[in-house]
Chain A
Amino acid sequence: DGGITQSPKYLFRKEGQNVTLSCEQNLNHDAMYWYRQDPGQGLRLIYYSQIVNDFQKGDIAEGYSVSREKKESFPLTVTSAQKNPTAFYLCASIGFRASYGYTFGSGTRLTVV
């Protein structure tokens, strides 16, 4: 079945460490997105990419980095510069025709220990 796979589902990070969250889609979608969600809050856009080797900052990009070397992959690195990284991270994608809207992954819950 086509979809978006985020891994791992749960991730623990020590303070000062960089961690990378994986997002892979086999939907042949062009655009991919990363969101952060804090408890009881809506989603905030971190980064998005509309084509391979190109990406744009969202509303809260500081302390995060991304790459888009392949169409199907859009990994997110949470760097040590992100002071409050504990959150639920969601990846999404959409295809050229957008007939079915955006598809979201099941999320990665990152906790700083």
Chain B
Amino acid sequence: DAKTTQPNSMESNEEEPVHLPCNHSTISGTDYIHWYRQLPSQGPEYVIHGLTSNVNNRMASLAIAEDRKSSTLILHRATLRDAAVYYCILSLSNAGGTSYGKLTFGQGTILTVHP
């Protein structure tokens, strides 16, 4: 299974942008890149996912390198509620282009947001 590597922790100030990096050098052509975040004693929350092109939604942006070996989750203006553990995950896709199979989590990045 393709693995991801993330920094153990990052810090940011409120209202500032945050760039959370993820390396996935062994990614295969059909792997989707997913990002989730988790608060203590809660289930992970979906943030964003993509395949090749950069993606934007109301929560964040996902910038995917041209060779797909790395990606960056961008929180445009961090708030205190964004403090969480952020997981970058690769999801195996089947031939139909849907996202199935094992979803393997790494240790994630603990994001601290300072007021």
Contacts and interface: CB of A to CB of B under 8 A. Distances in A.
B2 to A, nearest CB: 14
A68 interface: no
Contact of A109 (B41, B106, B107, B108): B41
Contact of B43 (A41, A50, A59, A106): A106
A35 to B, nearest CB: 7
A55 interface: no
Interface residues of B, number: 24
Interface string A19-52: 0000000000011010100000111110010100
B102 to A, nearest CB: 6
B102 A41 contact: no
Interface of B is mostly: strand
Interface residues of A, number: 29
A93 B46 CA distance: 12
A97 B87 contact: no
B60 to A, nearest CB: 12
Nearest to B42: A106
Contact of B100 (A31, A43, A104, A106): A31
B104 A107 contact: no
Contacts of A59: 104
A100 B106 CA distance: 21
Nearest to B93: A98
A92 B103 CA distance: 10
Given A101-B34, A102-B36, A107-B41, A41 B100 contact: no
B108 A42 contact: yes
A35 B41 contact: no
Interface in A64-101: 88, 90, 92, 94, 96-98, 100-101
B100 A50 contact: yes
B30 interface: no
Given A43-B105, A44-B105, A103-B46, A94 B99 contact: yes
Interface of A: 30-31, 33, 35, 41-45, 48, 50, 58-59, 88, 90, 92, 94, 96-98, 100-107, 109
